Structure 1
Amino acid sequence: MRWLDHREPVAQPLRGAIIALGNFDGFHKGHQAVAGEAIRWAHEEGRPSIIATFDPHPVRFFKPNVPPFRLTTLEQRQELYLAAGATAMLVFHFDKELAGTSAEDFITEILIERFGAHGVVTGGDFTFGQGAKGDVELLRDFGGEHGLKSRVVEAVEGGGEVVSSSRIREALREGDPQLAAQLLTRPFAIRGIVEHGDKNGRKLGYPTANLAIDKYLRPKYGIYAVTGRILATGEELNGAANVGIRPQFEPPKELLEPHFFNFDGDLYGQEIEVAFHYFLRGEAKFDDLDELTAQMKKDCERARRLLAEH
Structure 2
Amino acid sequence: MQVYYDIGDFEPLQNAIVTSGTFDGVHLGHQKILARLTETAQTFGGESVVITFWPHPRMVVSKDSQNLRLLSTLEEKIELLRQNGVQHLVVIPFTREFSELSSEEFIQQILVEKIGTKKLVIGYDHHFGRNREGSFDYLQQHAPRYGFQIEEIPRQEIEHITVSSTKIRQALLEGDTTIATELLGRTYTFTGIVVKGRQLGRTIGYPTANVHITESYKLIPVDGIYAVRVEVRGQRLNGVMSIGFRPTVNGKNRTQEVYIFDFNEDVYGEKMTVELVQYIRPELKFDGLEALTKAIEADCVAAMEVLGKAK
Please give the range of the TM-score, normalised by the shorter of the 2 chains.
over 0.9
User: Amino acid of the residue matched to residue 223 of structure 1?
Assistant: I
Moved more, 63-72 or 126-135: 63-72
CA contact (8 A) 2:229 2:236 kept: yes
Q: Distance in 2 between matches of 1:301 and 1:240?
A: 10
Q: Which one of 212, 226, 229 corresponds to residue 227 of structure 1?
A: 229
Counterpart position of 2:50: 51
RMSD between aligned alpha carbons? 1.7
Q: State the match for 2:40 in structure 1.
A: 41
Task: Deviation per CA, 1:111-157: give whole Å up to 9, x if none.
Answer: 11122222221112111111110111222223431112221101111
Deviation at 1:236, TM superposition (A): 0.7
Q: Is the 8 A contact 1:168 1:180 kept in 2?
A: yes
Tell me the secondary structure at the aligned position of residue 67 of structure 2. coil
Does residue 137 (structure 1) correspond to residue 137 (structure 2)? The answer is yes
- 1:111 to 1:249, Cα distance in 2 relative to 1, 3 A: farther
Q: TM-score, normalised by structure 2?
A: 0.93
- CA change 1:255–1:2 in 2 (3 A) is farther
Structure 2 distance, partners of 1:248, 1:52, is: 47
5 Å matches for 1:89-238?
Answer: 89-213=89-213, 214-230=216-232, 232-233=233-234, 235-238=235-238
Any idea what the Cα deviations from partners look like across 1:23-49, whole Å, max 9, x if unmatched? 111111111111111111111122221
Aligned: 1:263 with 2:258: no
1:243-258 alignment runs, 5 A limit: 243-258=243-258
Tell me the TM-score normalized by structure 1.
Answer: 0.93
Q: Distance in 2 between matches of 1:66 and 1:144?
A: 41
1:272/1:15 Cα in 2 relative to 1: closer, same or farther (>3 Å)?
A: farther
**Matched residues, percent identical?**
35
Task: Deviation per CA, 1:199-248: give whole Å up to 9, x if none.
Answer: 12222221222123432223111000011112x52x21100001122223
1:6 and 1:143 map into 2 onto residues whose CA distance is: 26
Report the counterpart of residue 296 of structure 1 in structure 2.
Answer: 296
Contact 1:243 1:256 survives alignment (8 Å): yes
- TM-aligned CA distance change 1:9 to 1:292, over 3 Å: same
Unaligned runs of 5+ in 1: none
Q: In structure 2, how many angstroms separate the alpha carbons of the residues matched to 1:7 and 1:50? A: 12
Residue identity in the other structure for 2:229: T
Counterpart in the other structure of 1:306: 306
Aligned ranges 1:19-38 → 2 under 5 Å:
19-38=18-37
Write the distance in 2 (CA, Å) between the matches of 1:247 and 1:65.
29
**1:212·1:254 contact (CA, 8 Å) conserved in 2?**
no
CA contact (8 A) 2:224 2:281 kept: yes
Match of 1:80 in 2: 80
Question: Partners of 2:236 and 2:173 in 1: how far apart?
Answer: 26
User: 2:58 touches 2:65 (CA, 8 Å); kept in 1?
Assistant: no
Structure 2 unaligned regions, length at least 5: none
Q: Secondary structure at the match of 1:211?
A: strand
Q: Counterparts of 1:121 and 1:65 in 2: how far apart (Å)? A: 28
Matches of 1:6 and 1:107, distance apart in 2: 17
Deviations 1:47-93 (A, max 9, x none): 22122322222222222544242111122222211121111222222
Q: Residues 53 and 90 of structure 1 are in contact (CA less than 8 Å); yes or no, is this contact kept in structure 2?
A: yes
Of 255-264 and 203-212, the range deviating more from structure 2: 203-212
Which amino acid is 1:41 matched to? T
Contact residue 226 and residue 241 of structure 1 kept, 8 A: yes
Distance 2:106 2:307 in 1: 47
For the Cα contact (< 8 Å) 1:187–1:275, is it kept in 2? yes
Partner-residue secondary structure (3-state), 1:248: helix
